[in-house]
Amino acid sequence: MRKGLNSLIILGAWILWKHRNSCVFEGDHSSIQKLMSDFSNEKQLWHLAGARLLQALGPGEELN
């Protein structure tokens, strides 16, 4: 469970960093809906890549 929590924290920081960069460098507007959508999509990709413990943690749709 600790590995899943660590992955969740890193994923959250990664999504915030990418969102910040898109706002600063690409002129995108800050949006919590986009941020949560990006988080959910990236979480699914991380799960498919092997971060199995992310499935039960954090916001976003549950993966099958």
What pLDDT is stored for residue 63 in this prediction? Answer: 37
What pLDDT is stored for residue 8 in this prediction? Answer: 86
49 occurs within a structural domain: yes
Nearest to 57 by CA among 2, 12, 5: 5
Q: Which domain holds residue 32?
A: 2-56
64 occurs within a structural domain: no
Q: For the segment 20-62, what is each residue's pLDDT rounded down to a tens digit? A: 999 999 998 888 999 999 998 988 888 888 877 666 655 554 4
7 occurs within a structural domain: yes
Helix then strand then coil, % of the chain, to nearest 5: 75, 0, 25
The number of folded domains in the chain is: 1
**Distant-in-sequence, close-in-space partners of 39: CB < 8 Å, separation ≥ 6:** 11, 12, 15, 58, 59, 60
Query: Which pair of structure tokens corresponds to residue 8?
Result: 């969740």
What pLDDT is stored for residue 24 in this prediction? Answer: 94
18 occurs within a structural domain: yes
Categorize the per-residue pLDDT at 3 as very low, low, confident or very high, splitting at 50, 70 and 90. confident
Structure pTM? 0.71
